[in-house]
Amino acid sequence: MSCSDTQSSIQAPDSQALMQVHGGGIRQAAARYGIAEAEWLDLSTGINPYGYPAGEIPQAAWARLPESEDGLEAAAADYYGTTALLPVAGSQAAIQLLPALREGRARVGILEPSYNEHARAWRAAGHEVIPLSGDAVADAVPRLDVLVLVNPNNPTGQRFDGADLRAWHADLATRGGWLIVDEAFMDVTPEGSLAPDAPREGLVVLRSLGKFFGLAGARVGFVLAGEALRTRLADRLGPWSLAGPSRWVAARALADRAWQAETRRMLQARGQQLAELLRAHDLEPSGGTALFQWCRVDDPAGWQDHLGQQGILVRRFDAPGSLRFGLPGDPGEWRRLGAGLRRP
């Protein structure tokens, strides 16, 4: 089974697999291990555990229909370095809609392993998905209509050079092709982003406030692309694609440069701390970002079960056999992970 289709699983009491398609799934894990939901340490998502403090949301944000003149688009344009953006309900909304906007049956290159919703959405729309290894992208570009890359890649942490990305985009664009770059984990290293390149014909950059800002529940993302594509997406989404409270929180998070700078410094340190902790228990990271570490292991199911018995949830992959660890939060969670990594 390829890793883009890999479903991390925990065996349920009735022996039927409870599939962990993404990070999360605490309720399933709680049922399997008999550990209350509140007692779990969830390291399966890669979400910043020190997320943006939303504060008290004004009543007006709840009571009125959302309006585009509330400062969100201006804050996002300043943060991403482009006005060519469309707010969406998390980048997942765009991931699901973009394949429907591509006419004909496209040949779509997607990394494997990577965030599996990309491949699922393009296959569901009838396109041909071509799995790519990280070192085979350049050779594949001439035979593709669409190239989808997660940068940095999830779960491997592989990063793609901006010059390479621009060259691949140029090649695709000459044939009417698209380069889609999902930058869900880019905020800690914004210098690697293609966001300021938008709008360019055939370039689509996806951003989200779920990971770095720790606002996954707000469901806020952006599509950075040319006007024609943004208009078609907006028509599909209809009015009020973002709730008023989500817009209010997102605008403030994107404008808070002091919090962003301090959080980048802190997450870089925490990412190194996690890598060192894993190495101390003979789990050498094969890749990662400031928000997660990815370890190749011979027995991913055994490791997942060992940690699950202690109320620690991690993301498991079977091809290649590996685990992704997100960041613990407070000192007690770090101690708990260290104790949980000890195996007989």
Residue pLDDT, tens place only, 14-26: 333 334 555 678 9
Given a cut of 60, is residue 98 above it in pLDDT?
A: yes
Given a cut of 90, is residue 13 above it in pLDDT?
A: no
What is the rounded average pLDDT of the residues 30-55? 96
What is the rounded average pLDDT of the residues 162-171? 98
pTM higher than 0.85, yes or no?
A: yes
pLDDT confidence of residue 21: 55
**DSSP characters over 266-285:** HHHHHHHHHHHHHHHTT--E
Domain topology for 59-255: Aspartate Aminotransferase; domain 2 (3.40.640)
User: Could you give the residue ranges of the DSSP H alpha helices within 98-154?
Assistant: 116-124, 137-140
Identical topology for domains 8-51+259-340 and 59-255: no
Residue pLDDT, tens place only, 305-338: 999 999 999 999 998 999 999 999 999 999 999 9
Given a cut of 60, is residue 280 above it in pLDDT?
A: yes
pLDDT confidence of residue 25: 86
Sequence spans of domains, the chain: 8-51+259-340, 59-255
| Domain 8-51+259-340: assigned CATH number | 3.90.1150.10
Under 8 Å CB-to-CB from 174, ≥6 apart: which residues?
A: none
